[in-house]
């Protein structure tokens, strides 16, 4: 059966590592990969939140405060225009003086708003617009102080209106145009910042989804590879163990890995080989014992046959001796002696027959064993 992870001859370093590494590092690698993906996703989320906070601060600093500063510039300009109108419309000198003082204060408010706006991280176009606005305000104040306020103090209203339309109104239009341009620039920058924030969110979301998908896929794939390879090897070892329990010593696991399961399979194969060699040696010894038992049985049977023949001959001799004893009384002493000898021979023959019979019994038992 071909292993999923490749054969022993595979030259790929990753395949060899996966095949030969123990089960614990494989499982820990899969778990570690999942943990790494979780850490990466968490880090990306934290970074995205920090980036969103930074962009929110930037949006507030560059756009909200910028819009507020531009609004303050417009408010100061409108107040200065009102102060100029009040100066010419006031009937009493004190009212004209108050309008002139307020004009100076509102100019200071404009300068403060312009300085606050200039401190913001403005681009070149907005700084140029701010510089042109400040120049227009400076020109407007010069016209007010040198032309329109003196006319207002003399109550020369007709000539004031003429000078206002000819010299002040173009500067007012320029100031309004520059403030409108700054307001539009702030709106465009705010829209660009919002679009960039949405783009960053979409990019971070895509990266997060890709990391999650790739990490989960790799973790599941690695876990499946580990589980599948381990299950296959364990099943092969189990088959060999069951065959060994049934008395089949020919089965082998033949695992080609050096991990925990591969080492266990190699040990089982070695044990099976040694057990098969031991059983073969026992069978050979049993065959040798059986052959020796058969030879011993044959020898015992020959001994028994010889003993029986000796006993028969001894009986014949004993009969002949009795007859000689009855017929030859003269040789009683010799016959008697011969009879004793013959009886001893007969006893010895009987003993030999008994021994032979016992030997036959022992050989039969040995043969059965």
Spell out the domain ranges in the chain.
Answer: 23-238, 260-368
Residues 76 and 108: beta-carbon distance below 8 Å = no
pTM higher than 0.85 for the full model? Answer: no
Q: For residue 10, what pLDDT is reported?
A: 43
Tokens of residue 20, six digits: 């030969």
Q: Topology of 23-238 in CATH?
A: 1.20.120
Give the C-alpha separation, 61 to 121, whole Å. 8
pLDDT in tens, the chain (369 residues): 334 344 444 446 766 766 667 766 767 776 777 777 777 777 877 776 666 666 555 555 556 788 888 889 889 999 998 988 888 888 888 888 898 899 999 999 999 999 988 888 888 888 899 999 999 999 999 999 998 889 888 888 888 899 889 998 999 999 999 999 988 888 888 788 778 878 888 888 888 889 888 888 888 887 887 777 777 777 877 777 787 777 776 777 666 666 667 777 777 777 777 777 787 777 777 777 677 667 777 766 776 676 677 667 667 666 765 775 676 566 556 657 766 767 777 777 677 677 778 777 876 787 787
User: How far, CA to CA in Å, does 299 sit from each of 291, 302, 354?
Assistant: 13, 5, 15
Q: For residue 304, what pLDDT is reported?
A: 65
Backbone dihedral angles phi then psi of residue 212, each to the nearest 5 degrees: -60, -45
Tokens of residue 357, six digits: 């019979």
Residue with the two structure tokens 């990969």: 33
* CA dihedral of residues 342, 344, 346, 347 (deg, nearest 10): 170
Q: For residue 137, what pLDDT is reported?
A: 92
What's the per-residue H, E or C state across 80-136? HHHHHHHHHHCCCHHHHHHHHHHHHHHHHHHHHHHHHHHCCCCCHHHHHHHHHHHHH
Tokens of residue 120, six digits: 């913001």
Tokens of residue 75, six digits: 């408010």
Residue with the two structure tokens 């030999």: 352
Q: For residue 187, what pLDDT is reported?
A: 83
Residue 334 CB coordination number (10 Å) = 12
| Among 299, 312, 303, 322, CA closest to 345 | 312
| Among 247, 241, 252, CA closest to 279 | 247
Residues 22 and 260: beta-carbon distance below 8 Å = yes
Contacts of 296 (CB under 8 A, 6+ apart): 363, 366
Give the C-alpha separation, 328 to 109, whole Å. 181
| Among 278, 281, 267, CA closest to 252 | 267
Q: For residue 60, what pLDDT is reported?
A: 53
Contacts of 81 (CB under 8 A, 6+ apart): 172
SS3 assignment, position 267: helix
CA atoms within 13 A on the CB side of 317: 17
Radius of gyration of the chain (CA): 63
């Amino acid at each position: 059966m071909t292993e999923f992870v490749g054969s022993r001859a595979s030259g790929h370093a990753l395949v060899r590592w996966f095949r030969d590494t123990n089960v614990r590092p494989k499982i820990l690698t899969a778990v570690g990969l999942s943990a790494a993906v979780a850490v990466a996703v968490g880090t990306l989320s934290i970074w995205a939140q920090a980036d969103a906070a930074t962009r929110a601060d930037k949006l507030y600093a560059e756009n909200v405060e910028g819009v507020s500063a531009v609004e303050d510039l417009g408010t100061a300009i409108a107040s200065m225009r009102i102060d100029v109108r009040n100066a010419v419309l006031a009937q009493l000198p004190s009212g004209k003086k108050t309008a002139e003082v307020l004009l100076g204060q509102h100019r200071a408010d404009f300068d403060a708003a312009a300085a606050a706006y200039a401190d913001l991280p403005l681009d070149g176009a907005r700084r140029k617009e701010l510089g042109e606005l400040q120049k227009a305000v400076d020109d407007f104040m010069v016209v007010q102080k040198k032309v329109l306020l003196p006319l207002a103090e003399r109550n020369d209203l007709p000539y004031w209106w003429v000078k206002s339309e000819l010299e002040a109104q173009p500067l007012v239009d320029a100031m309004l145009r520059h403030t409108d341009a700054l307001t539009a620039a702030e709106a465009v920058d705010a829209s660009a910042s919002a679009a960039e924030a949405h783009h960053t969110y979409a990019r971070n979301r895509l990266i997060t989804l890709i990391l999650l998908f790739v990490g989960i896929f790799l973790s599941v794939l690695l876990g499946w590879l580990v589980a599948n390879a381990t299950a296959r090897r364990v099943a092969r070892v189990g088959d060999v163990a069951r065959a060994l329990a049934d008395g089949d010593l020919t089965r082998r696991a033949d695992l080609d890995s050096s991990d925990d399961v591969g080492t266990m399979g190699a040990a089982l194969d070695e044990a099976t080989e040694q057990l098969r060699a031991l059983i073969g040696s026992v069978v050979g010894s049993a065959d040798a014992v059986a052959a020796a038992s058969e030879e011993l049985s044959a020898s015992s049977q020959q001994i028994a046959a010889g003993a029986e023949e000796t006993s028969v001959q001894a009986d014949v001799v004993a009969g002949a001796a009795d007859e000689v004893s009855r017929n030859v009384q003269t040789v009683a002493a010799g016959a008697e002696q011969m009879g004793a000898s013959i009886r001893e021979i007969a006893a010895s023959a009987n003993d030999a027959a008994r021994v032979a019979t016992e030997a036959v019994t022992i050989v039969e038992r040995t043969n059965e064993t």
